[in-house]
Structure 1
Amino acid sequence: MSKTLSDVCEMIALPEEMTEKVLTFAKEYDRAITAPFLATLSQPETWKHSIEQITTRLGEDPDGCKMLTVMLLCAVDAYEEYQKRGMSEKIFVDTMKFCARFTQEHYQVHGCYAFTWGWWFPRQISLHEFRIGALEYEMIVKEGEKLINIHIPADADMTREVLRKSYLEAREFFKKFFPDYGQAEMVCDSWLLAPFLRELLPESSRILGFQNAFDVIRVDETSNGCIRWVYGRTDLPYPELAEKTSLQKKIKACLLEGRSIGEAYGKLQKDPWKE
């Protein structure tokens, strides 16, 4: 059964205020204006150029509502593709909920709704990235090798059993629907793999449990990319960063001392999160 734009907004629990704006703009939106660039959103190498061109065609869009509308209309088309391939509706919903999550996060941090992740959404609507359980899995090609890049949503349950269940289900998913990636190595590039975190967190930490499933290949000790994910924003001076959690307090103390948390790139082990 096909879905409408309104259906998809409801399925992904897009905040009501943004849903109203999306549905209102959709009534006046002429898809022909962006059609040439929408057609090129299926290939990673053209994502950046396509989004830049769509942004130009849409004009002023202070809260990202116009871009969100365009992307969600593409999500409606993606739903049809999911149906044709026999893919789970739950995976569709969990995957597309990414935009509702970031819209809600913007409200929590800034006090107003906005969507600023149009540049990322092509991954989901082109069926390159899927949320399967706790984690997101993106099919990529790096130096000629097919890989699956793991992303960790902010609301991910990081318990060992849940992570392993996600991994096993993802393996079955890719074997069935994308056999070329069925046995592809899984990798992750994130602050959550930073070795320095071992100095801040107890052995029982779920973050360290996540780390233990990866063999680290390289480390960037100078990066403070964690700020965006730990505090939800990057526009505040360090003394003004929140201290609502123990992790925020510890990282803030390090930043004030002039220390960087870093990030790392690693390869997932063959049987991760096993007991």
Structure 2
Amino acid sequence: MDVKALLRAHPDWLAHLESLGGFDLALPGDLVSELLRLAVPHEDVNAVIAARPEPGDPRWWLAERCAHSLVATMGVVDGPPPFPVLPELGPYFYVFVYLAALPHTRAYHRRLGVPEEVSWATFADLGRNMAVHRKRHGTGGLHAPDWFMLHARGLLFEMGRLQFNRAKLNRRVGQALESAGLPVGPGSPALGVHVPDFRGPMTPAACDASFERAREFFPRHFPDEDVRVVTCGSWLLDEQLARYLPAESNIVAFQRRFHLLDRYDGSDMMAFVFGGDAADLARLPRRTRLERAVGDHLAAGGTWYGRTGWLRF
């Protein structure tokens, strides 16, 4: 495999990687225990072990520099180019990149005083996103391999039911909030909130507890960041859902927390809601109220959107 030839389709990423020096790519000695601790699904464990790269593997150069990219930008909000999806590398290539970087992430967490239970709950999202990949595609792999960059670089933390990542307001959202009279603008520190899959109901009580933990956690561990707002970009905030779901539903309650801004394409909703069943729109299952809502809206000629929302922190 000519790795650099493969990367020429991603010139910015290749230039970034080539600018980095070497890196001591140390993989766990007890790989099985590490995978299980990271909640890697049992049906993936043997396949991950079989795919372990070794020095001399054409992918080794790339794995070294990917891990170096993560470690070199540890804790820095403005990050490196995202990892692209490259099937030619195999379904588990980025799993090994993250395994090599995680000791450095753990050390960073310890320097910040992050509790061990928060660290390991956060790292377990690696296994969760392997489960998401199987849910959507029916095969082993790591869903959205660039997503775990936030975790590995010490930017995202799991706070119970919800996850929060350190961020900066982009120009569009920052200008909108500035116009609304908030003491923020483009580039202001903020938190992004996320609702991970396979984590149980997003009840109002569970979400309240997550927000309370975040309000305590981030000022304690990042005292130099004056965070005033939390933002969320998700199909969960499409207000059309309230037409189909009862007022007391968890999703509608979650929506009510936010002031809504713009709409954007929400086609990723289908994979979140239906997994692999989203492939055949004519035969969408109707097993839950949410599935019935999504399917019925589409059958009536409707369109779903993502929405950006914000709330005061």
Q: Tell me how far apart the structure 1 counterparts of residues 167 and 259 of structure 2 sit (CA, whole Å).
A: 19
Question: Is residue 251 from structure 1 mapped to residue 301 from structure 2 by the alignment?
Answer: no
- Cα offset, 1:250, TM superposition: 1.9
Q: How does 1:103-142 map to 2 (within 5 A)?
A: 103-142=130-169
Which amino acid in the other structure matches residue 88 of structure 2? E
- Cα offset, 1:44, TM superposition: 5.5
- Indicate conservation of the 8 Å contact 1:79/1:92, yes or no: yes
Which amino acid in the other structure matches residue 66 of structure 1? F
1:29-52 deviations in Å (ceiling 9; x for gaps): 575543334332325555335x24
Q: Tell me how far apart the structure 1 counterparts of residues 63 and 267 of structure 2 sit (CA, whole Å).
A: 36
1:7-38 deviations in Å (ceiling 9; x for gaps): 43222221234333334444615755433343
- Cα offset, 1:141, TM superposition: 1.2
SS in 1 for 2:206: helix
Question: Is residue 61 from structure 1 mapped to residue 89 from structure 2 by the alignment?
Answer: yes
Question: Is residue 163 from structure 1 mapped to residue 207 from structure 2 by the alignment?
Answer: yes
Instruction: Say if 1:34 and 1:13 are closer, same or farther in 2 by CA, change over 3 A.
Output: closer
- Range with greater deviation from structure 2 (190-199 or 176-185): 176-185
1:56-89 deviations in Å (ceiling 9; x for gaps): 7xx8334x21211111221232122222332112
- Indicate conservation of the 8 Å contact 2:203/2:250, yes or no: yes
Q: How does 1:1-275 map to 2 (within 5 A)?
A: 5-26=31-52, 28=54, 33-41=62-70, 42=73, 43=76, 45-48=78-81, 51-52=83-84, 60-62=88-90, 64-142=91-169, 143-154=186-197, 155-181=199-225, 183-220=227-264, 223-233=266-276, 236-269=279-312
- Indicate conservation of the 8 Å contact 1:227/1:233, yes or no: no
- Cα offset, 1:235, TM superposition: 6.0
1:225-269 deviations in Å (ceiling 9; x for gaps): 311211124861311323221211221121122201222111124
What's the C-alpha RMSD, in Å, of the aligned pairs?
2.6
Instruction: Say if 1:266 and 1:187 are closer, same or farther in 2 by CA, change over 3 A.
Output: same
The TM-score with structure 1 as length reference comes to 0.83
- Range with greater deviation from structure 2 (150-159 or 167-176): 150-159
1:157-187 deviations in Å (ceiling 9; x for gaps): 3222211111111111101111233533111
Q: Tell me how far apart the structure 1 counterparts of residues 196 and 237 of structure 2 sit (CA, whole Å).
A: 14
- Indicate conservation of the 8 Å contact 1:106/1:112, yes or no: yes
Which amino acid in the other structure matches residue 13 of structure 1? A
Name 1:273's counterpart in structure 2.
none
SS in 1 for 2:157: strand
**Structure 2 spans left out of the alignment, 5+ residues:** 1-27, 170-185
Aligned length: 261
SS in 2 for 1:204: coil
- Indicate conservation of the 8 Å contact 2:260/2:308, yes or no: yes
Q: Tell me how far apart the structure 2 counterparts of residues 126 and 234 of structure 1 sit (CA, whole Å).
A: 33
- Cα offset, 1:96, TM superposition: 1.6
Q: Tell me how far apart the structure 1 counterparts of residues 309 and 217 of structure 2 sit (CA, whole Å).
A: 22
**Structure 1 spans left out of the alignment, 5+ residues:** 271-275
Give every structure 1 segment of 4 or more consecutive aligned residues whose post-TM-superposition deviation is greater than 6 Å: none
